[in-house]
Structure 1
Amino acid sequence: MFDLADVTKFIFSFFLIMPMVTFIHLSGHLFCAAIFGGKGKKLTLGCGNKLFSILKMDIKKYYFWNGHCEFDKLQVNHPFKSVMIYLGGALFNLISIFIINGLIFVDILNNSIFWYQFIYFSFYIMFFSLFPMYFSDGSPSDGQAAILSIKKQEKDIVTGDVIIKKEKKD
């Protein structure tokens, strides 16, 4: 039965855990972009008006809702690199799940509702990012973008959370 205590957990999950999981996901994209030579990396957490910036990260008014990362186009574009960048977010989510489960298993972390929700939202983000589909705005999911990269059908793919800035022409 859903009661007042569950409302508190719900609010806590959406305003703290979901942004943490989103940050991990976006960091995975940027990590892979950095490995393959992406420059001008920036992470944006949330949507709406910008509240503040920390290093190369913008925090928006609705920090708990979505986010994206961006970087300059790679010098040498290869399908493997693109696939790794698109799948990097889900990979980081998966790694975080294994780390948390491992730390719980060896009794470093307590088995709590916080970690249960963290893992739940990590799977949620992973599933919907990897599911090969197009969103209502026409942008592909990370999984669909990876498939397009493998088929060499990508042309300036912009997913819901990965933006590759076009080269500036002088």
Structure 2
Amino acid sequence: MFGFEDMGKFFLSLFLVLPVVTIIHQSGHLFFAKLLGCHVDIHIGTGKTLCKVGPFCIRKVYFVDGWCEYKELHHKKNGKVKKVLIFLGGSIFNISTIFLVNGLILQGTLNPSIILYQFVYFSVYYVFFSLFPAQFVDGCPSDGKAVLNIIFNKPLEKDPIN
């Protein structure tokens, strides 16, 4: 049962764990974009920009959402496989950290805790909803929808790769 004594864990999870999972996810997109010669700006949160550090733009409501601003992804030199890797990069990083955390717990390097449980939970959540093929209200596709779009050459209204 969720009680008043759980509020500290809730706020820690909301204001620290979820943003870390978001940063890991967006870093996956950034990693593959850089590796494959593309440019991506990362936006952590929503609302007014607080600061920009390299490709990372931290916004006022940093614990809600995260997204990539793809640039140079439309060039002919960027084939389907490269684009698919960039869109799957976030989920690849999240899945990798899930295995890493669970592996370190199994080895006894990390002790199981509610924070690590929440980290894995939010990582699974992120992977599921980013790969679920959906088009958002603003017309942008989820990572899964973008991958299907690339594979089947079906452009969307606000597809960042066209």
Aligned to 1:88: 89
Give the match for residue 139 of structure 2.
Answer: 138
Structure 2 SS opposite 1:94: helix
Q: Contact (CA 8 Å) 2:139, 2:159: kept in 1 or not?
A: no
Runs of at least 5 residues in structure 2 that lack an aligned partner in the other structure: none
What are structure 1's unaligned runs of at least 5 residues? 159-163
SS of 2:138's partner is coil
2:147 aligns to what SS in structure 1?
A: helix
What do you get for the CA RMSD once the two structures are aligned?
1.7
SS of the aligned residue for 1:24 comes to helix
Q: How far apart are the structure 2 equivalents of 1:131 and 1:52?
A: 31
Amino acid in the other structure paired with 1:143: G
Q: TM-score, normalised by structure 1?
A: 0.86
Give the Cα–Cα distance (whole angstroms) in 2 for the partners of residues 78 and 20 of structure 1. Answer: 30
Partner SS state of residue 103, structure 1: helix
| Identity across matched positions, percent | 46
Which residue number corresponds to residue 157 of structure 1? Answer: 159
**Matched residue, 1:43:** 42
Q: Which secondary structure state, in structure 2, belongs to the residue aligned with residue 108 of structure 1?
A: coil
Using the TM superposition, give the Cα deviation of residue 45 of structure 1 relative to its aligned residue in structure 2, in angstroms.
1.0
Corresponding pairs, count: 159
Offset of residue 108 of structure 1: 0.9
Partner of 1:8: 8
What residue identity is the alignment partner of 2:37?
G
Deviation at 1:133, TM superposition (A): 1.4
Paired residue for 1:129? Answer: 130
The answer on whether the counterparts of 2:22 and 2:66 sit within 8 Å (CA) in structure 1 is yes
